[in-house]
Every structure is written in C-alpha cells, then in structure tokens.
Amino acid sequence: MATLEIRDLHVSVEADNSTKEILKGVDLTVKQGETHAIMGPNGSGKSTLAYSIAGHPKYTITSGTVTLDGEDVLEMSVDERARAGMFLAMQYPVEVPGVSVSNFLRTSATAIRGEAPKLRTWVKEVKSAMEQLQMDPAFAERNVNEGFSGGEKKRHEILQLELLKPKIAILDETDSGLDVDALRQVSEGVNRVHATGEVGTLLITHYTRILRYIKPDFVHVFAKGRIVASGGPELADKLEAEGYEEYTKGGPVSG
Ligand code: ADP
Ligand code: MG
Ligand code: MG
C-alpha cells in the first residue's frame, strides 16, 4: 500500500520583498485507502500545504521531507508526481484553451497509466463516471476550465479523481461554493473512490459541513502552520460544535 509521508515540513513564500514562513513543521502520514480531513481556520496555511506538495513554484521548501513510498516527491517534476500516483486537484486550476475535457482526461490517463486507454472502453468509463456525478454529457466537449462555474470545477476535479485512480489524492476546499445537491454528489464521488480501498485522500477544508457526507478515518486540526491536534471523526463533531478558537488562542502567529 502506497504511503505519503510529510515530515517536519517548513515552507516560506516571498511577499512584499520579505520572506514569510507559512508552514512550521507539518507532520502527516496518509496511506492508500485512508481518508484524512485537514480542518482549520482561514489563513492557517492549508492551501500552502497543498500547493507545496503539488510543487507550486511560489512556495519554497526550507526544510523537511515529502515522500511517496520513500521516493522524494519534492525532487519530482509535476508530471512525475502524477505518474507516481499523486493527484493534486489544484495542479490544473487554469484554463487550457482548445483542449476538451474528454481529451484532457484521456491524455492524463495515458500519462499516468503509461499507455493510452482503449478508446471504446474509455468512452464508456467517462460516460458512466459523468452520469454518476450527474454531469451533462456535453460537458466532455467543453474546453478545460473555460467558463466553468465553481460547481463545474469541483465536479471536474472529482471526475478526474474517479477516472485517473491515483494512489494519493489531495483535494483543497472541494466543498467551497457548492450548493447542497452538488456537495452531496461530489461527496458521493469521494466516497466511491474511498470504497475502492485504493486511494488515500487528503481532504482539506475550512467547513465541517462536508463531513456530514464524507466520513474521514482521521481528522486533523491545522492552525498557525502546523497540525495541532489529530483524532477520529468525533474531532470533526467537536469542531462543528466549538469552532477553532481553542486552537488559535494567543492570536495569529506572524511569520
Ligand atoms: P488557508 O488555505 O488555510 O486559508 P493559505 O495557505 O492560503 O491558508 O495562507 C496562509 C498564509 O500564507 C496567509 O497569511 C496567506 O496570506 C499567506 N500566503 C499564502 N500563499 C501566499 C502567496 N502566494 N503569496 C503571499 N502570501 C501567501
Ligand atoms: Mg520544525
Ligand atoms: Mg485555503
């Protein structure tokens, strides 16, 4: 079973001609088949964690390690990370002009599997995955991210997740901007992927509401650039009732 290990990760960004440390020693292990939720207040560094693992150039790793089965993820190109079995939803936030969703998905699947999926079975796979997410078939012919609504972007994320079958998936704010129906459909997609037992998911969110639909195996509280508490699903219930205040006392720590 594949294992993603994050050890004492420190990350800085350049802002206003100064360097600001955002991540201050993150430790986390995610195994294939497990669902982890990372929850925390706005500005605590959750997206920075996701971008850092994705290899976003804006974020400088100053110390610590990220490995997938012992292989140094931080040394890998973005493509290599995908081929190693990592799915980073925030990797493709941009519009890809002239590339349809359908072609984009097949190209991604080819890169990850090492060979092009057979066209006939592929078309069926895409169709059935889109039906499950209650997506209009016409969506497959639209250009990637061009004019996508918030909800379409998130469904596209989950569509990729279901079709590309990564070992480890990192989903940042998958619930933001979704109405209740879309939230449920997206959550059901995450649950289907979890049910295969083959995908380890790191679900990053500010809101506890998605955890009414997705039951994580582990919940981690993220505050001031690190994980400050970990537990089971009961921790999400506690956060829903009490908020993050207990973890943010003493005001924000500046970089
Ligand atoms: P969260 O996702 O938990 O809301 P972020 O990781 O987006 O938190 O941000 C954490 C802190 O790092 C914030 O103070 C934010 O302003 C800062 N930050 C994140 N990314 C950048 C960036 N690219 N440039 C400058 N500051 C950044
Ligand atoms: Mg440290
Ligand atoms: Mg964020």
pLDDT tens digits for 209-232?
Answer: 888 899 999 999 999 999 999 999
Which atom of ligand 1 approaches the CA of 50 most closely?
6
pLDDT for the residue 252: 52
For the chain, what percent of residues have pLDDT higher than 90?
A: 64
Our mutation pick for probing the ligand 1 site, out of 22, 58, 222, counting the most ligand atoms within 8 A of Cβ, is 22
The response to whether residue 47 sits with its C-beta less than 6 Å from ligand 1 reads yes
pLDDT mean across residues, the chain: 90
143 within some domain = no
155 within some domain = no
| Distance from Cα 44 to the centre of ligand 3, integer Å | 8
Which residue would you say has higher pLDDT here, 218 or 253?
218
| Distance from Cα 23 to the centre of ligand 2, integer Å | 9
216 within some domain = yes
Residue nearest to atom 27 of ligand 1 (CA): 13
pLDDT for the residue 182: 87
Q: What angle do CA 159, 4, 26 make, to 5 degrees?
A: 110
The response to whether residue 174 sits with its C-beta less than 6 Å from ligand 1 reads no
Q: Give the mean model confidence (pLDDT) for residues 123-128.
A: 92
193 within some domain = yes
pLDDT for the residue 174: 78
**Could you report the per-residue pLDDT of 45-86, keeping only the tens digit for each?**
999 999 999 988 899 999 999 999 999 999 999 888 988 999
pLDDT for the residue 64: 98
The response to whether residue 48 sits with its C-beta less than 6 Å from ligand 1 reads yes
141 within some domain = no
At 94, the pLDDT band (50, 70, 90 cuts) reads: low
pLDDT for the residue 187: 93
138 within some domain = no
At 255, the pLDDT band (50, 70, 90 cuts) reads: very low
9 within some domain = yes
User: CATH number, domain at 26?
Assistant: 3.40.50.300
Q: What is the span of the domain harbouring residue 40?
A: 3-93+166-248
Is residue 254 over pLDDT 50? no
| Distance from Cα 119 to the centre of ligand 3, integer Å | 37
Of the ranges 89-93, 139-143, 178-182, 251-255, which is most confident?
139-143
Number of domains in the chain: 1
Is residue 90 over pLDDT 80? no
Residue nearest to atom 13 of ligand 1 (CA): 43
**Could you report the per-residue pLDDT of 131-178, keeping only the tens digit for each?**
999 999 999 999 988 888 888 888 999 999 999 989 999 999 877 778
Which atom of ligand 1 approaches the CA of 40 most closely?
3
- Note whether 158 and 188 are within 8 A (CB): no
ipTM of the complex: 0.95
Which atom of ligand 1 approaches the CA of 42 most closely?
4
At 2, the pLDDT band (50, 70, 90 cuts) reads: very high
pLDDT for the residue 175: 75
145 within some domain = no
**Could you report the per-residue pLDDT of 10-53, keeping only the tens digit for each?**
999 998 889 999 999 999 999 999 999 999 999 999 999 999 99
